[in-house]
Structure 1
Amino acid sequence: MAALTTGKDNTKVPTKQRPAVYIRRSRADDPEYGFPDEFIELCEEHFDVLYEKNITGNPELGKRVVGAYNRGPSMPISIDELWKFPNLKIVVCSGIGWDHIDVRGLNAHGIKVANNPGVSSNAVADFGITLMLASARRLLEGVPVAMGPKQCQKFNVNWLGNDVSFASLGIVGMGDIGSKVAKRAKAFDMKIYYHNRNRKPEEEESSVGAIYCPTLADLLPRCDYVMITCPLTSETEGMFGENEFKLMKPSATIVNVARGEIIDQEALYNALKNKTIKAAALDVTYPEPLPRDHPLLTLPNIIIAPHMASATAETRKRMLPPLVETVLAVVEGRPLTNEVIL
């Protein structure tokens, strides 16, 4: 798998062997989690590409791997498999999330971990607003009335949703995604509150009219809508439980475009069933997908999407070049701006 160049007689001749990157599977081998051809072509401009099937057939090839790419809910290489990749320098997550990666375990073996921040933020923010609007306006309930197999003789003009404009929104996690949600919410004339580990500079707050709340207890009682955009960490896991739902307005809706584990799903089920809060709109759950007998699926006041917030053709295309650039930076000894530091 050495790179080829064109010789004087127009024949292909091998050049110095290039470093390799490891991709568990291509889309052809795994339509759900495999990497697309466009990404593999980008990688091949700089690296040889090795797949799981290559390493299984010839473990010696693992010595050539300097970078590994992750896509999906599991690590591309388990800690127990690292012996196959003695020269591995970095594992790169295709998206912003890295909660499924054993960062400390890899770091202990001298392997860096990087994510792909920023590129998907607009798409995720768009989808957070989409979920909020769909829930507020009862869109999923309304569509079957107009499109269902049972003929509807007339529409019920007293069947109402709620305004988003001029309502209050609480953003939990004011990073890149949360900030973009706030910009969109400002266009709806929403009153914006936010909770974050660190307060944002006054200039950033004033640009969207955001009000800082140092605790969830300060934020939750004020908000008609609460949107979770923070990463999943040991501090945020289970952040929303029974007590938090009791702090929210009975008319409030919770939206989650972050990670499912941030919400205690049993507590959410009880809060929705008992009308402690009005509704929920989720892009993420645990597990994914939920089993068909999961209690949340029995409720009429919840929307669950299939973890699709970043799933636009444009965003996925923009996500590809930074992945290649990250491994190149490590190989060339350049500093990383997207390394995951715990």
Structure 2
Amino acid sequence: MAKVLCVLYDDPVDGYPTTYARDDIPVITRYPGGQTAPTPEAVDFTPGQLLGSVSGALGLRDWLEANGHTLVVTSDKDGENSVFERELPDADIVISQPFWPAYLTAERIAKARNLKLVVTAGIGSDHTDLDAAVAHGLTVAEVTFSNSISVAEHVVMMILSLVRNYLPSHQWVLDGGWNIADCVARSYDLEGMHVGTVAAGRIGLAVLRRLAPFDVVLHYTDRHRLPEEVERGLNLTWHASAQDMVPHCDVVTVNAPLHPETEGLFDDKLISTMKRGTYLINTARAKIADRDAVDRALRSGQLAGYAGDVWFPQPAPADHPWRTMPHHGMTPHISGSSLSAQARYAAGTREILECFLAGRPVREEYLIVDKGALAGTGAHSYSVNK
């Protein structure tokens, strides 16, 4: 029998929901490109419920405990005296979400003597030290594509909110005002702007597809160039690097995984090459952008706005400068954790567990590390140092 240690974010401040805004959610069975949505043998939750918080437990508790496994769920994940730290040494499986990540460092992996499987409930496994996972022969898996469209929708929302100056305008309403001049003094049309994405994988390409009807000029950079028919169909301009692309853009969105090539990419030097007044959106990973360089660029006017929902560390401390810098549209890391997305990544987590506990192969597209090497999606998206 396995001990499963699951790290999830806290319940709502008013308690776990007893009712929801909607009675159902659309059923998604297949993603763009043909990959099927998760297909576990069964689920013990109602799609549309809050599953990503502690009480939701990803809908896993009844099933795991009925089969003799131990499930420990906590939000207490940081520090030597955290529940996560205390429960880790004899855990067989660790599950966490990118929104509230259990940082599995090399030191933590070394002390987890029973650890065999690490699951990201969602997408993005950079909170696990992949070099250490390879060295210890772990399996690392994530629910690929489960919330990619959720994030892409969030990106489009953030682009429009910055360009149209939505958040400050809404604040005037909340404050009882009708200050039209103040609202429109920083409001522009997206139409005709040049928009570029750093990376055009599942999320980046979905962003490009959703922006095309806005009659913008689309750019992208990616180490894997898109097929010619895709470039032609969306009228895309490909650039060999972010450095080549960003001077041409009015809006830049970051949709790349965090790895040595992207860490710190948007620093003072790169931002200085962008048009004055560019909008930068980052829903990928916070460390792709230099924290203080972003703050400086907003205060100087080099950037007209910055929005995203990724921070480092997560949760972000109260004095994090991104909370108070001007012209930002930051949210907590929520872009991929809508109730719709939770139904898919919870189902995918169960599918991974069903396969692993029964000794069956985990879907290739879910694998990041397998048998001591990058595998599946991991081989496409990440790199390790050996």
**2:61 counterpart of 1:40:** yes
Deviates more, 1:127-136 or 1:27-36: 27-36
Quote the Cα distance in structure 2 between the aligned partners of 1:200 and 1:314: 28
Q: Which amino acid aligns with 2:134?
A: N
The answer as to 2:164 corresponding to 1:137 is: yes
Secondary structure at the counterpart of residue 74 of structure 1: coil
Residue from 92, 95, 120 that aligns with 2:147: 120
Q: Which runs of 5+ in 2 are unaligned?
A: 17-51, 75-82, 369-373, 375-383
Gap runs ≥5 in structure 1: 1-18
Larger Rg: 1
Distance 1:296 1:23, change over 3 A: closer
Shift of 1:43: 4.4
Higher RCO (CA 8 Å, separation ≥ 6 residues): 2
Aligned residue type for 2:203: I
Give the Å deviation of 1:234.
1.4
Taking every aligned residue pair, what percent have the same amino acid on both sides?
A: 26
CA deviation after TM superposition for structure 1 residue 146, in Å = 1.4
Please name the residue that 2:238 is paired with. 212
Q: Note closer, same or farther for the CA distance 1:153–1:230 as it changes in structure 2 (3 Å cut).
A: closer
**Letter paired with 1:23:** L
TM-score, normalising length from structure 2? Answer: 0.73
Q: Which residue of 2 aligns with 1:49?
A: 70
Distance in structure 1 (CA, Å) of the matches to 2:318 and 2:359: 48
* Residues 1:274 and 1:313: Cα distance change in structure 2 (over 3 Å): same
* Counterpart mapping for 1:157-236 below 5 A: 159-236=185-262
Is the CA contact 2:203–2:255 (under 8 Å) kept in the aligned structure 1? Answer: yes
2:333 counterpart residue number:
307
Report the equivalent of 2:367: 339
Aligned to 2:101: 73
Q: Which residue of 1 aligns with 2:77?
A: none
Q: In the alignment, which residue of structure 1 is the partner of 2:307?
A: 281
1:258 has 2:288 as partner: no
Question: Structure 1, residues 44-72: CA drift from partner, whole Å, max 9, x if none?
Answer: 5766233279x99xx9x94xx65332232
SS, match of residue 302 in structure 1: coil
Compared with structure 1, are the counterparts of its residues 29 and 48 closer, same or farther at alpha carbon in structure 2 (3 Å cutoff)? farther
Cα RMSD over matched residues? 3.0
2:220 and 2:295 map into 1 onto residues whose CA distance is 24
Rate the CA distance shift 1:211–1:27 in 2: closer, same or farther, 3 A: closer
Distance 1:213 1:100, change over 3 A: same
Question: Do residues 111 (structure 1) and 141 (structure 2) align?
Answer: no
Q: 1:35 to 1:195 in 2, by over 3 A?
A: farther
Output aligned runs, 1:73-112, within 5 Å.
73-75=101-103, 78-83=108-113, 85=114, 88-112=115-139
Q: Which residue is equivalent to 1:155?
A: 180
Q: Distance in 1 between matches of 2:262 and 2:155?
A: 19
Tell me whether 1:272 sits opposite 2:298 in the alignment. yes
Aligned AA (1:315): A
Q: Is the 8 A contact 1:92 1:115 kept in 2?
A: yes
In structure 2, how many angstroms separate the alpha carbons of the residues matched to 1:122 and 1:76?
Answer: 27
**Counterpart for residue 3 of structure 1:** none
User: Which aligned segments of 4 or more residues in structure 1 are displaced greater than 4 angstroms?
Assistant: 25-33, 42-47
2:95 partner SS:
strand
Kept in 1, the 8 Å contact 2:352–2:362? The answer is no
Q: Flag the 1:75–1:217 CA change in 2: closer, same or farther, 3 A.
A: closer
The TM-score with structure 1 as length reference comes to: 0.82
Report if the CA contact (8 A) 1:42-1:324 is conserved. no
**Cα deviation, residue 308, structure 1:** 1.0
Is 1:23 aligned to 2:23, yes or no?
no
Write the deviation string for residues 250-287 of structure 1: whole angstroms up to 9, x where unpaired.
02100000011000011111211111222211211223
Q: Which amino acid aligns with 1:82?
A: A
CA contact (8 A) 2:172 2:178 kept: no
Map Cα deviations across residues 273-311 of structure 1 (whole Å, 9 max, x no partner). Answer: 111222211211223444444444443222211111012
Q: Greater CA deviation, 74-83 or 226-235?
A: 74-83
Superposed CA deviations along residues 87-133 of structure 1, whole A, max 9, x for unmatched, are x4321111211111122223322211111210101110000111111
